[in-house]
Amino acid sequence: MKDKFNDLFLKVDQHPKWELFGILFFIVVMAILMFRLNQPTPWVVDDILKSDSVKHFHSARDYFNSLWGFYFNWGGRIWGEFFADLFLSIPKKIFNIINTIGYLVFVGLIYVNITGKIKFSPSLFVLINFLLFACLPAFGQDILWISGTANYMWSSLIPLLYMAFWRFYLHKERRWMNSIPGVIILMCFGILAGWSNENVSVSLILLAAGYMWLYREKYNIIPRFAKTGVVSLVIGSLLLWLAPGNFVRFATEHHSRSIIHMIGNVFHNIGALFDLESTLLLIIAFVLLMFFIKTTRKKIAALFMAAGVMSAVSMSVVGGISGRVFLGCVVLMVIAVGLLYDEWNDTLTIRKCRCFLMIALLLGMHTLYSDARTGIQDYANRWNQNLAIIQMEKGKGNLDVYVNPVTPKNKFCATYELDDIKPKEENQHWLNKGVAHAFGLHTIQSVHVKTDK
């Protein structure tokens, strides 16, 4: 009986059609699940404030002027700003579809950075999704909030795509990447990748340097595209970090310029990586796989783990790492864990373990998704009640409106750890004034009802 079970397991486990069917099935399931999370997530905070100006955009020049003003007056992350403006200018129903596709592309790029080739592995796909749901401490902000996903998930697509070319080359040498047209195309991608997100840009330079070392080790030469690629990443990073708007924002938010304070931030940010709500699970999984499996991928896995740590350390210039900023660290560490996990299949016993582990991950995903759905739906219902109150009061001619405070239940809500409409004592808060202006009100404030005991 045991031999028959093993024979049947091998036939299924090693059959390419089953693997292709499995991964296509999970892609369709994740598309449905992510759409159901996007659908009830409303516009919140910055979305509401920006929507008033975005609705006046009528040409490419309007978008360009917005990005130009942003670059010189607030920050260098103009691609995130571009995505935010674009998504806020389209109906929310269309954005729900686009963002669902964007998430699948996001997961797909993490997947190919792990495999380095076309490969069908349902268990790896499930692992990536589970780790993102479990380890992103502000999942709703990074993936579902329009202003947040524009600056984090969507801005990560170009760096992930760019580094996928480096990963493919490590798996197998590709001549076109060292041709003149190939080098020029990849340099353009490199500049855009380096210009994407501050802490990720520093990690990309570290990754590129590590890849060059691995190329020399494998091919006895550093390819041309790699040499020019590092230059392009540095150019992109300088365009990002040295944007005039960054210095304006740095002064406005009163960040400390003390070197001692920044060194203190380094230790704080490294310590933050050991938080169970963020990357501790990834670190534990990485250490266990490094010790207990035999693979040739340990060097590249260690490189991605180091890049994840560097992503946290680089934020020390401006402060502590928290919330949605963890996305870069989480993605790089997921790739590090995935690189090892993907090679953990060299015996029949291990493949059986992977099968049972996938079942456990699916059960975990069910729990996480149920929490996400419940929290998001709860927030949406309460926010819709406030919208109804606003419309009712405006219909009466009352432009000084009181609404209920709305506290998100969990990290899957777009407003988790973001500001909410303040009570009367803080009526001049920037969010109160912005929401009032967006809805054509004089004032808006929340009311906390207390009962006498």
Residue 398 located in a structural domain: no
Residue 287 located in a structural domain: yes
Structural domain for 341, as ranges: 15-371
Contact between 207 and 198 under an 8 Å Cβ cutoff? The reply is no
Q: Which residue has the higher pLDDT, 441 or 211?
A: 211
Judge whether residue 418 has pLDDT over 90: no
Q: How confident is the model at residue 11 (pLDDT cuts 50, 70, 90)?
A: low
Contact between 17 and 11 under an 8 Å Cβ cutoff? The reply is no
pLDDT more than 70, % of the chain:
94
Amino acid 285: pLDDT:
95
Amino acid 9: pLDDT:
47
Mean pLDDT within 402-428: 87
Residue 395 located in a structural domain: no
Judge whether residue 73 has pLDDT over 50: yes
> What pairs with residue 444 in β-bridges?
401
**Nearest residue to 402 (alpha-carbon basis) of 372, 439, 445, 343:** 445
Residue 433 located in a structural domain: no
Mean pLDDT within 168-195: 94
For residue 403, the surrounding DSSP H or E stretch is strand 400-403
Amino acid 451: pLDDT:
46
Residue 6 located in a structural domain: no
Amino acid 319: pLDDT:
75
Q: Are strands 400-403 and 443-446 parallel, antiparallel or unpaired?
A: parallel
Alpha carbons 407 and 398: distance in angstroms, whole number:
25
Q: How confident is the model at residue 391 (pLDDT cuts 50, 70, 90)?
A: very high
| pLDDT, the chain, mean | 89
pTM (2 d.p.):
0.92
Mean pLDDT within 165-170: 95
Q: How confident is the model at residue 349 (pLDDT cuts 50, 70, 90)?
A: confident
User: In this structure, is the dihedral angle defined by the CA atoms of residues 209, 210, 211 and 217, taken in order, positive or negative?
Assistant: positive
Backbone dihedral region for residue 336 (phi beyond 0: left; psi -120 to 50: alpha; all else: beta): alpha
Mean pLDDT within 60-87: 89
Judge whether residue 449 has pLDDT over 70: no
Residue 394 located in a structural domain: no
Q: How confident is the model at residue 106 (pLDDT cuts 50, 70, 90)?
A: very high
Residue 7 located in a structural domain: no
Judge whether residue 8 has pLDDT over 50: no
- Give the distance from CA 225 to its chain's centroid: 27
Residue 179 located in a structural domain: yes
Greatest Cα pair distance in the chain: 79
Counted domains in the chain? 1
